């Protein structure tokens, strides 16, 4: 602590942008002044990139806070939060930086605003090293149901790809008084597998068909008794900025759990390979027997920490992103997490329970 400023080392554990997202969101929510040093020290290009900076600026603006050190390449920032307000908030990475990662930092904050919010997020909708927008719309809207957030909705207006970005997503949310605990422990059985393989801009539809076929063949080897419906699509020119391709596949279960696998095409990458990568990611998420996939696992941590009561989530192996989120959530909120290996499974499965006694954050504006 420096005076009352919480000190965060941005180079430990995952060592990337996630530390910044979790710590600044919690700083904003809890009114804790923050200093983050060694930002993204674990990355080949350390310091703030455009998407991190636009996320920080959005958090600063939505709580009338003060941000120092906010420039591209900066490895240290200080942030002093104010009061979270509703209304329209805009963040534009001006690059292909992920809009889905912008949503991750802003969403917990606007839930505790004084009035409803609309987030307008601009950048890459389908970016490397981040959830795809298709995933965020589908799993995100189901996630809102999980948190009992009536009226919350993610809508994609314009798709944007690497390297230009140019996509735009709108998220509307109403504030809550308190978050209920999350209970995701019943996996159920897989009832449906569906998805879409897409091309946009100058790419031929044949690429989408090849991605879809390769993915279906890969899934059928392991799950032969279920119809796998992956639609090849060309994104309409007026709804996509630039050229891109990729695939997302989602499995739904009898208890409403969603698991996903996705992959993006790029120059020189065989379209069969793209389809197989997404299929293998989905199958990996289905093998472990948990009730959440690897993408959602770490995104739940901040909500579990803020919730009122005990949250319990059954997952596959604990990812480094999740370990990092737990570390900083505990440091800042005083919520208590425990992770235990599940004993009730057949021993071949690598399944864990993440449990959290939340801090019971209350929205004092409501």
Mean pLDDT for 6-35 is 95
Strand order from edge to edge, sheet including 228-234 = 228-234, 190-200, 244-253, 258-264
Q: pLDDT: is 110 or 156 the higher one?
A: 110
Could you list the residues known to form a binding site, using ranges: 104, 295-299
Per-residue confidence band for 35, with pLDDT thresholds at 50, 70 and 90: very high
Phi/psi at 306 (5° precision): -85, -20
User: What does the pLDDT average to over 114-142?
Assistant: 88
**C-alpha pair distances (Å), 128 with each of 91, 96, 132, 194:** 19, 9, 8, 22
Please state, in angstroms and rounded to a whole number, the distance separating the CA atoms of residues 294 and 315: 8
Average pLDDT over residues 54-80: 96
Active site (annotated) includes residue 321: yes
The average pLDDT across 28-42 equals 96
pLDDT score at 261: 95
Q: Give the mean model confidence (pLDDT) for residues 75-87.
A: 96
- Tell me the per-residue pLDDT of 275-286, one tens digit each, with 9 for 90 and over: 999 999 999 999
Q: What is the pLDDT of residues 192-241, one digit of tens each?
A: 999 999 999 999 999 999 999 999 999 999 999 999 999 999 999 999 99
CA torsion angle for 270, 316, 152, 304 (degrees, to 10)? -140
Q: What is the pLDDT of residue 346?
A: 63
Please state the rounded mean pLDDT for residues 173-194. Answer: 94
Averaged over 174-203, what is the pLDDT? 94
pLDDT higher than threshold 90 for residue 259: yes
% the chain with pLDDT above 70: 98
Q: How far apart are CA 111 and CA 97, in angstroms?
A: 24
Q: Is the pLDDT of residue 137 over 90?
A: no
How big, in percent rounded to 5, are the helix, strand and coil portions of the chain? 30, 30, 40
Annotated binding site for ATP: 104, 295-299
Average pLDDT, stretch 108-127? 93
Contacts of 112 (CB under 8 A, 6+ apart): 29, 84, 175, 176, 361, 363, 365
Q: State how far the Cα of 134 lies from the Cα of 145, in Å rounded to an integer.
A: 17
Query: Of 25, 56, 58, 48, which Cα lies nearest the Cα of 299?
Result: 25
294-349 tens-digit pLDDT: 989 999 999 999 999 999 999 999 999 999 999 999 999 989 999 999 887 565 67
- Compute the average pLDDT of residues 152-180: 88
pLDDT of residue 197: 97
- Average pLDDT over the chain reads 93
Q: Which of 52, 89, 288, 321 is catalytic?
A: 321
Average pLDDT value for residue range 171-191: 93
pLDDT for the residue 343: 83
Closest of 60, 67, 93, 76 to residue 19, by C-alpha: 76
% of the chain at pLDDT higher than 90: 80
Instruction: Please report the pLDDT score of residue 1 as a whole number.
Output: 46
Q: Identify the weakest region by mean pLDDT among 31-40, 85-94, 163-172.
A: 163-172
CB 165 within 8 A of CB 95: yes
């Amino acid at each position: 602590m420096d005076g009352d400023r919480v000190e965060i080392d941005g180079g430990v554990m995952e060592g990337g942008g996630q530390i910044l997202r979790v710590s600044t969101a919690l700083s904003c929510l809890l009114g804790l002044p923050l200093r983050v040093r060694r930002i993204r020290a674990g990355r080949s290009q350390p310091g703030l990139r455009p998407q991190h900076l636009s996320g920080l600026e959005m958090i600063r603006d939505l709580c009338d806070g003060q941000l120092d050190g906010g420039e591209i390449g900066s490895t240290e920032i200080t942030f002093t939060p104010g009061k979270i307000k509703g209304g329209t908030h805009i963040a534009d990475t001006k690059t292909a930086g992920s809009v889905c990662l912008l949503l991750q930092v802003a969403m917990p904050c606007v839930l505790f605003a004084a009035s409803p919010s609309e987030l307008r997020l601009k950048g890459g909708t389908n970016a490397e090293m981040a959830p795809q927008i298709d995933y965020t719309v589908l799993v995100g809207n189901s996630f809102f149901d999980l948190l009992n957030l009536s009226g919350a909705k993610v809508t994609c207006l314009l798709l944007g790809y690497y390297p230009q970005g140019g996509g735009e997503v709108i998220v509307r949310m109403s504030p809550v008084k308190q978050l209920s605990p999350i209970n995701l422990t019943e996996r159920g059985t897989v009832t449906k597998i569906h998805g879409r393989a897409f091309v946009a801009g100058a790419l031929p539809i044949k690429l989408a068909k090849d991605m879809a076929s390769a993915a279906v063949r890969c899934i059928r080897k392991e799950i032969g008794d279920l119809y796998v419906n992956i639609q090849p699509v060309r994104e309409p020119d007026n709804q996509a900025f630039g050229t891109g391709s990729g695939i997302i596949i989602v499995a739904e279960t009898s208890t409403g759990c969603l698991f996903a696998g996705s992959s993006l095409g790029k120059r020189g990458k065989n379209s069969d390979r793209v389809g197989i990568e997404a299929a293998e990611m989905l199958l990996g998420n289905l093998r472990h027997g948990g009730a959440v996939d690897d993408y959602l696992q770490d995104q739940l941590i901040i909500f579990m920490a803020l919730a009122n009561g005990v949250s319990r989530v059954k997952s596959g192996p604990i990812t480094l992103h999740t370990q990092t989120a737990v570390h900083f959530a505990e440091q800042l909120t005083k919520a208590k997490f425990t992770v235990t290996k599940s004993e009730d499974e057949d021993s071949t499965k690598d399944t864990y329970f993440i449990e959290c006694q939340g801090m019971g954050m209350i929205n004092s504006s409501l």
